Amino acid sequence: MKRQPLRRVLPFARPYLKHFVAMSLAALGGVVAGVLIPLVIKGIIDGPIKSGSESDLAPLAGLALLLGVIDCGLAVGRRFVMAAGATGLERDLRDALYEHLQRLHVGFHDRWQSGQMLSRAMGDISTIRRFLAFGLVFLIVCAAQFVLVVALLARLYLPLALLTATAVAPLMLVSASFRRRYGLATTIEESAVGIRVVKAFRQGRLVGAQFAAGAGQLRETANEGVALRARYFLLLDLVPNLTVAVVLLAGALAVGRGALSLGGLVAFVALVIGMVWPIEALGWILANAQEASTAAERVWEIFDAAPAIVDPPGAVELVECQGRLRLEDVGFRYGDDGAWVLRHVSLDVSPGETVAVVGATAAGKTTMVSLLARLHDPSEGRITLDARDIRTLALGSLRRQVAMAFEDPLLFSASVRENLLVGHRTSSEGDMRRALHTAQADFVHDLPWGLDTRVGEQGLSLSGGQRQRLALARAILGEPRVLVLDDPLSALDVHTESLVEDALRRVLDGVTALVVVHRPSTIALADRVAFLEGGTIAAVGTHSELMERIPAYRHVLAQEVEDDEAVA
């Protein structure tokens, strides 16, 4: 049985327990100060005012003022403490979620929309923070204030106290019903926002209609929630105010009979009016609690996703690497019942050798090379590095030795320097200059602030070729023993491509490399070519050998040349 979602947040709240205790004590202190003021007023009315003794008025008035100042001071202090504890909890929860997202394998991120994860990391965690910092504390405070006020009312005049308690009791039943119905409306609304809207973006007319239907459903559920809150808050306003009216009438009669003093009636009415806010706040707290519970459920949906690619027990640190790669009867498919993308793939790459991987579109080239850094694990067979199954190696040490540059280079919204140093924090200025020169990315020195120039969201302030060269420089900066290049030159013009290829020849000397190739000119970098067809390696040899004896290989390269000419 699953634990209540909000209860699972408690481990994150423990480091800030002292903040929540201090908040609660300050709030309770404010409640005590607030309910004592009507009693002081009672004393003033029944004492100095009734007797006409002005000398006794000043101390009681000063006491009332002091209690008001204490109440205000505790409220200000509570908010300072509340901000420190609540924002700290929010930060820790968000950090933990981000750290967990980094551990999840690529397949998880392929299945989830980025908007979904952003919504959970930002909006849902903020909702949880608001409830824990405000709603939960005020729930305790309101309950304490209700009990304290009822006790004081009973001390002032028991019959009216019983009448007041009886009038308020039905609100508890209404609140329980409100919580259940509002919870359903909240769940539907979150679903509509989180799924329908995100899926609708950039999906054409058909999904545009789905977006309209989802927006309509969102509108209906939002209106239902508004109507439900309106009816509930109407009762919350009506019942306490009717109670005050009844108390005034019955209290006036009691004063006329001498059963209650005038000061006691004033204090009684003031205390009953003081109960209006806690009762009204109860609706907000219950709504906030349900929203927080739904938000926590959405956040824990991510936390409960187990990382598929992790360090095995007794993982071996790869300290030194020669660079011998072997793929032994490797097969891969997405999911247990998915179609096979790769099957019976076997390839032996010697240390320092460069192998080009060639194949038609959707032949499985990118999938194959992504297995080398364990972005995915083979569904069958194994991959070894220096005769060790890469699944037995510590992930960190494996990825220090195996670097990748992708066809679609992703740059972070950061400076050129920060993008280069991803994974290579200790690299020197000289290392960065050499990597940039090798990748023909010296253009960065001409940017407004050089290496400290920010490249914008996903590097979109740079051209496609510039992004690709910068990503290539990032890959070679760490001087890996195994370099995987997924068509890293596709966005380059012919002149720049020739310069980068000349530089890559020096880089690839002594480095084990697999290069996914689309342009025939890039094949000249390779010692051998592995031709991938139908998810398996159909042939391995030199470019000349494959051109001579493999018609399908000739056809793929001819098609690539035609595509390049069509684009040009």
Q: What is the pLDDT of residues 418-469, one digit of tens each?
A: 988 887 788 888 889 988 888 888 899 988 898 999 987 777 788 877 887 8
Segment 541-545 mean pLDDT: 92
Rg (the chain; Cα; Å): 35
Whose tokens are 């040009």? That residue is 568
Element (H, E) at 84: helix 57-103
How far apart CA 502 and CA 177 sit, in angstroms, is 74
Lowest mean pLDDT among 12-21, 35-44, 190-199, 262-271: 190-199
pLDDT band at residue 356, thresholds of 50, 70 and 90?
very high
Which range among 22-26, 171-175, 379-383 has the greatest average pLDDT? 379-383
Q: Which of 98-107, 371-380, 485-494 has the lowest mean pLDDT?
A: 485-494
Conformation bin of residue 105: beta by default, left when phi > 0, alpha when psi is -120 to 50: beta
- pLDDT of residue 498 exceeding 80, the answer is no
Is the pLDDT reported for residue 172 higher than 80?
no
Position 117 pLDDT exceeds 80: no
In the predicted structure, residue 358 carries a pLDDT above the cut 70: yes
Q: Which whole number is the average pLDDT over 208-235?
A: 63
Task: Calculate the average pLDDT of the chain.
Answer: 80
DSSP state of 390: G
At 532 the pLDDT is 93
Q: How many CB atoms lie within 10 A of CB 167?
A: 17
Cα separation, 435 vs 417, whole angstroms: 12
51-68 pLDDT, tens digit per residue, is 777 777 888 888 889 988
pLDDT at 16 over 80: yes
Kindly indicate the confidence band of residue 225, based on its pLDDT and cuts at 50, 70 and 90.
low
- In this predicted structure, the answer to whether residue 190 has a pLDDT above a threshold of 70 is no
Detail the DSSP E strand segments found in 452-500.
Answer: 482-486
Confidence of residue 2 (pLDDT cuts 50, 70, 90): very low
Residue 378 has pLDDT above 90, yes or no: yes
Name the region of 482 (left: φ>0; alpha: ψ -120 to 50; beta: rest): beta
Q: What is the mean pLDDT of residues 235-247?
A: 73
Burial class (CB in 10 A: 0-12, 13-18, 19+), 68: middle
Six-digit token pair at 11?
Answer: 């481990």
Confidence of residue 170 (pLDDT cuts 50, 70, 90): low
Confidence at residue 191, expressed as pLDDT on a 0 to 100 scale:
43
Residue by residue, DSSP assigns 473-524 as: HHHHHT--SEEEEESTTTTS-HHHHHHHHHHHHHHHTTSEEEEE--SGGGGG
Q: What is the 3-state secondary structure (H, E, C) of 304-323?
A: CCCCCCCCCCCCECCCCCCC
Which residue type does 323 have?
G
What is the C-alpha to C-alpha distance for residues 87 and 426, in angstroms, rounded to an integer?
A: 32
Give, as one character, the DSSP assignment of residue 2. P
Q: Which two tokens stand for residue 46?
A: 């029944």
Tell me the C-alpha to C-alpha distance, in Å, between residue 12 and each of 85, 100, 294, 304, 428. Answer: 11, 15, 18, 16, 38
pLDDT for the residue 177 = 53
Spatial separation of the C-alpha atoms in residues 144 and 147, rounded to whole Å: 5
pLDDT tier, 193 (very low <50, low <70, confident <90, very high otherwise): very low
Distance CA 247, CA 234 (A): 20
Q: What is the pLDDT of residue 344?
A: 93
> What percent of the chain clears pLDDT 90, i.e. is strictly above it?
15
3-state secondary structure 242-304: HHHHHHHHHHHHHHHHCCCCHHHHHHHHHHHHHHHHHHHHHHHHHHHHHHHHHHHHHHHHHHC
Among all chains, which residue has been given the structure tokens 């403490």?
81
Between 106-120, 391-405, 519-533, the lowest mean confidence (pLDDT) is in 106-120
Alpha helices in 192-261 (DSSP H): 198-200, 204-257
CA distance 492 to 496: 6
3-state secondary structure of 365: helix
Domains of the chain by start residue, with CATH: 5-303 (1.20.1560.10), 325-411+464-567 (3.40.50.300)
Residue 299 has which token pair? 């956040």
- Kindly report the backbone phi and psi dihedral angles of residue 433, in degrees, each rounded to the nearest multiple of 5, phi listed first: -60, -40
CA distances from 523 to 49, 192, 489, 492, 529 (A): 103, 50, 12, 15, 8
User: Which of the residue ranges 16-30, 207-221, 249-263, 284-298 would you say has the lowest mean pLDDT?
Assistant: 207-221
pLDDT digits (tens, 9 = 90+) for 83-107: 888 888 889 999 999 888 888 877 7
CA dihedral in degrees (241, 244, 250, 256; nearest 10)? -140
Q: Between β-strands 512-516 and 354-359, what pairing exists: parallel, antiparallel or unpaired?
A: parallel
Tokens of 210: 């789905």
Section 198-218 average pLDDT = 53
Higher pLDDT, 185 or 550: 550
Cα–Cα distance, 55 to 48 (Å, whole number)? 8
- At 408, the pLDDT band (50, 70, 90 cuts) reads confident
pLDDT of residue 541: 93
Given CA atoms 264, 270, 274, 276 in this order, what sign does their dihedral have? Answer: positive
pLDDT over 70, % of the chain: 82
Q: State the pLDDT at residue 380.
A: 95
Q: How far is CA 466 from CA 15, 146, 491, in A?
A: 46, 67, 9
Report residue 347's pLDDT band, with 50, 70 and 90 as the boundaries.
very high
pLDDT (tens digit per residue) in 282-328: 767 777 787 788 888 888 988 888 888 888 888 899 888 898 999 99
341, 367 Cβ separation under 8 angstroms:
yes
Each residue's pLDDT tens digit, 242-269: 777 877 888 888 888 888 888 888 888 8
Sorted by sequence, the CB contacts under 8 Å of residue 318 that are 6+ apart come out as: 385, 386, 388, 393, 394, 397, 398, 400, 401
Give residue 381's pLDDT. Answer: 94
Mean pLDDT over 134-163 rounds to 81
Q: How much is the pLDDT for 236? A: 65
